[in-house]
Amino acid sequence: MLITQCKHELRQLAADRLLYALIVLFAVLIAYGLWNGERWVRFQERAIAAAHQEEATALTRAKQQAERIRLGQEKPRWWSSSTDLRGFLWYHLVSYAVKPPAPLAALAVGQSDLYPYLLKVDTGARAGFTTAYETANPRKLLLGPFDLAFVIIYLLPLFILALSYDLPRPIPCLRARTM
C-alpha cells in the first residue's frame, strides 16, 4: 500500500512543471554557493601569501641593513637598527599570525568573514585584536556569506515546502485486522 502511494505521489510531482523549474533554480543556487565559497577561500589564500611575502621582504631588508652596518656604511640610531634587538622588534620585524582555511572551507564560509584569519603581530602599544578588524558593511555582515551551507540549511527546506505544498495527505490504512 505504501509503495503504491509513493509511486502515485512521485507521478504527481513529475507531472508538475514547478518541480523542474525549482530543480534548475536549486542547482544554480548550489553552483553559486560553491563558487562564492571557493572565491572567499582563494581571497584568504592570496592575502596569506601576500603576508608571507611581506614578512620575507622585511627580513631581507633587515639583513641588508645589518650587512651595511657591519661594513660601516651605515650608522643608524638604536631604534631603527636591525642589529639592536629593540630596533629590530620595533622597526624591522613584520610577523603575522595566520589561520589558513580548512580543506572544506569553501563549503561553509561560516564566520570566517567576521573573525580575522590574518593578524599582524606587533610590539607597538596599539597592537591587538581591536586594530586587526577591517571595516565592512554591517548589513552584509548580518546577512552572512552565501555558500553551500546557506543553501542547504535555509533554502533546501523552502525548496521542499514549495514542492510539497499541495500534495494530498496520506490516508491511513483502514483495513480490519483478522485474528
Q: What is the pLDDT of residues 140-160, one digit of tens each?
A: 767 677 888 888 988 899 888
Q: What is the value of pTM for the model shown?
A: 0.71
Task: List the helix and strand counts (H, then E) for the chain.
Answer: 6, 2
For residue 9, name the pLDDT band (cuts at 50, 70, 90).
Answer: confident
Give CA angle at 42 (53, 59), nearest 5°. 10
Beta-strand relationship, 95-98 and 118-121: antiparallel
The torsion angles phi and psi of 100, rounded to 5 degrees, stand at -70, 155
Checking if the pLDDT of 172 tops 60, the result is: no
**What is the separation of C-alpha 50 from the centre of its chain, rounded to a whole number of angstroms?**
18
* 72, pLDDT greater than 50: yes
Query: Tens digit of pLDDT for each residue in 111-133?
Result: 777 777 888 887 765 555 555 55
Residue 73 has φ and ψ, to the nearest 5°, of -80, -20
Q: Kindly report the number of other CB atoms within 10 A of residue 117's CB atom.
A: 17
pLDDT in tens, 29-43: 999 999 988 998 999
